[in-house]
Chain A
């Protein structure tokens, strides 16, 4: 896999997309399609979650099958903050990131001692452990999850309006992408990618490989926690289903179809998968079969993901 290098069109395209995103709520309102603002917000939030996994998987080369645990931890942290009387996102969201990041730090510290198939299974097992923990935690709602009393405020502005939450999600996603883009070309990102390419060589150059991996893993977990906090605001619920391992699988699928290690792989993948889901649900209730067959086709015929297909076409 190659080291990340932004294409010349990437910056203008990102700005264009950002502008388009800012105009979207008013455009949808003009056509009387406000319903889709919520859907668009969901896409943005999952784009954020998938991008956080892309940092771990794409740039760090760590195949984590437990990333949903951090998404869920963030959602619960936000809901618990609100229960404790903190209704301000400027406080609750960093808290969610902190909790999810800390959780990822612990999981990573144990899991990263292993390699390959082991790592995949252990991250999965830890996520499952968190899932059962939340399911059996009666004070946090057990099976039913922990509901929010309405949406939070962000710097004093209420997020109750769908458009407001959409803007918040868009702004946070933009910030995160800016951060990931800078990171990928900064010392940390270069080091992380070099470790992905050749761990032993980096060790022999004096790098404490484990520490870099761990920090990336925790950072990915923290950003996933942010996505979880946003998601709890969108749906009004911190649900144990967020931590289910199929959710981790879905995030992985998003990154893979979007393109592992491409900066926007997670964003593209989340958009493609959720749009696909939205359109297939209308066709048949058994749309999972179609999705599964499509995924098999991606594995067998487009192993580098959708982004790579576009890349090839551009030459």
Chain B
């Protein structure tokens, strides 16, 4: 797996007396949609936090694009090409959709320093043009001027995605993008992710199994902080350990 885009080795983390992650080996190949599933409390969100840099592991390593990022902070990893969306919608509710994405564009290394004290942002047309293209990609081009707080839940989720995309990631970490969305909105989100996957590698954490099995190229299963299985959707479906973990649950 030398050419894996994301390569996690023997990642471990304890909270108080609880092993949240036990020597997890995990990798994502460039270009794939890799889904991480597992029962509630399995440690999925903890794992994502460790990949994105919100938390640091007790031991083990995280390599990204051939570089050891284990000790890098979250913003450094974002700059290195890793972006994430949040389980709970996490946009600036008081700003317009476009202004939200402008913030994301402005944070990018190639957009220049943000230690600029004089020129109003609204005069920087390049930022706005760029930001609009990401709203187009997620289907929000008609909502650019709408304050984020006024958008529907599904639209806010899409906006969240646009912001992540605007950082121009190589890898997109999506933490339950369907959470709290209705069936129609879910369907739209699945289409959107499919569309995005043409340009960017995706690590998807999701509870909606229909969506997972439709989207994922590979699936990994996390149970009690341990990775019990990793493979194609068919392999995972037929894995005895997975069946045991999920018995009577989703599958």
Residues of A within 8 A of B (CB): 1-3, 179, 182-183, 185-191, 194, 197-198, 200-209, 212, 215
**Which B105-145 residues have a C-beta within 8 angstroms of A?**
106-109, 113-122, 124
Nearest B-chain residue to A191, judged by Cβ: B114
Contact A204–B52 (Cβ < 8 Å): yes
The 8 Å CB contact of A206, one of B90, B92, B108, B120, is: B108
**Alpha-carbon distance between A89 and B90 when the two chains are bound, in angstroms:** 48
Contacts of B163 in A (CB 8 A): 205
Contacts of A209 in B (CB 8 A): 75
Residues of B within 8 A of A (CB): 52, 54, 73-76, 78-79, 83-84, 86, 90-92, 94-95, 103-104, 106-109, 113-122, 124, 163, 167
Q: Give the distance to chain B from A61, nearest Cβ to Cβ, in Å.
A: 14
Contacts of A206 in B (CB 8 A): 75, 78-79, 107-109, 167
Main secondary structure, interface of A, reads helix
A203-B74, A204-B74 known; A187 and B114 CB under 8 Å?
yes
Q: Give the distance to chain A from B14, nearest Cβ to Cβ, in Å.
A: 23
A194-B92, A204-B84, A205-B104 known; A186 and B120 CB under 8 Å?
yes
Contacts of A1 in B (CB 8 A): 94
Task: Give the top 3 A-B pairs by smallest Cβ distance, nearest first.
Answer: A206-B78, A185-B120, A205-B107
The 8 Å CB contact of A182, one of B104, B118, B124, is: B118
Contact A215–B115 (Cβ < 8 Å): yes
Main secondary structure, interface of B, reads loop
A182-B120, A186-B118, A186-B121 known; A205 and B103 CB under 8 Å?
yes
Contact A197–B106 (Cβ < 8 Å): no
Contacts of B106 in A (CB 8 A): 187, 190-191
The 8 Å CB contact of A207, one of B114, B118, B124, is: B114
- A-B pairs under 8 A by CB, number: 91
Q: Give the distance to chain A from B96, nearest Cβ to Cβ, in Å.
A: 10
In the complex, besides A182-B118, A187-B114, A200-B54, 16 extra interface pairs with C-beta distance below 8 angstroms are A1-B94, A3-B94, A182-B117, A186-B118, A187-B113, A188-B115, A188-B117, A189-B117, A191-B107, A200-B90, A202-B107, A203-B73, A203-B75, A205-B75, A205-B78, A205-B167
Contact A207–B75 (Cβ < 8 Å): yes
Contact B83–A186 (Cβ < 8 Å): no
Looking at A1, A179, A187, A215, the one whose CB has the most chain B CB atoms below 10 A away is: A187
A206-B107, A207-B114 known; A187 and B121 CB under 8 Å?
yes
- Sample 9 A-B pairs with CB under 8 A, ordered by A number: A185-B120, A187-B113, A188-B117, A190-B106, A190-B121, A205-B78, A206-B78, A206-B108, A215-B115
**Alpha-carbon distance between A204 and B75 when the two chains are bound, in angstroms:** 6
**Alpha-carbon distance between A100 and B78 when the two chains are bound, in angstroms:** 34
Looking at A185, A188, A204, the one whose CB has the most chain B CB atoms below 10 A away is: A204
**Alpha-carbon distance between A258 and B43 when the two chains are bound, in angstroms:** 47
Contact B114–A212 (Cβ < 8 Å): yes
Contact B117–A179 (Cβ < 8 Å): yes
**Alpha-carbon distance between A299 and B83 when the two chains are bound, in angstroms:** 41
Nearest B-chain residue to A197, judged by Cβ: B92
Contact B167–A186 (Cβ < 8 Å): no
Contacts of B122 in A (CB 8 A): 185
Contact A188–B116 (Cβ < 8 Å): yes
A204-B52, A206-B107, A207-B107 known; A187 and B74 CB under 8 Å?
no
Contacts of A2 in B (CB 8 A): 94
Contacts of B118 in A (CB 8 A): 182-183, 186
Contacts of A201 in B (CB 8 A): 86, 90-92
Q: Give the distance to chain A from B30, nearest Cβ to Cβ, in Å.
A: 21
Contacts of A190 in B (CB 8 A): 103, 106, 121
Contact B114–A188 (Cβ < 8 Å): yes
Q: Give the distance to chain B from A144, nearest Cβ to Cβ, in Å.
A: 39
Contact B117–A194 (Cβ < 8 Å): no
Contacts of B119 in A (CB 8 A): 182, 186-187
**Alpha-carbon distance between A188 and B90 when the two chains are bound, in angstroms:** 21
**Alpha-carbon distance between A209 and B103 when the two chains are bound, in angstroms:** 13
**Alpha-carbon distance between A2 and B109 when the two chains are bound, in angstroms:** 27
**Alpha-carbon distance between A208 and B109 when the two chains are bound, in angstroms:** 11
Nearest A-chain residue to B116, judged by Cβ: A187
Looking at B75, B92, B109, the one whose CB has the most chain A CB atoms below 10 A away is: B75
Q: Give the distance to chain A from B137, nearest Cβ to Cβ, in Å.
A: 17
Contact A185–B92 (Cβ < 8 Å): no
Nearest B-chain residue to A207, judged by Cβ: B107
Nearest B-chain residue to A211, judged by Cβ: B115
Contact A208–B75 (Cβ < 8 Å): yes
**Alpha-carbon distance between A202 and B95 when the two chains are bound, in angstroms:** 14
Nearest A-chain residue to B53, judged by Cβ: A203
Contacts of A185 in B (CB 8 A): 120-122
Nearest A-chain residue to B119, judged by Cβ: A186
Contacts of A207 in B (CB 8 A): 75, 107, 114
Contact B114–A198 (Cβ < 8 Å): no
**Alpha-carbon distance between A83 and B168 when the two chains are bound, in angstroms:** 56
**Alpha-carbon distance between A198 and B88 when the two chains are bound, in angstroms:** 13
Nearest B-chain residue to A206, judged by Cβ: B78
Q: Give the distance to chain B from A223, nearest Cβ to Cβ, in Å.
A: 13
Contact B117–A198 (Cβ < 8 Å): no
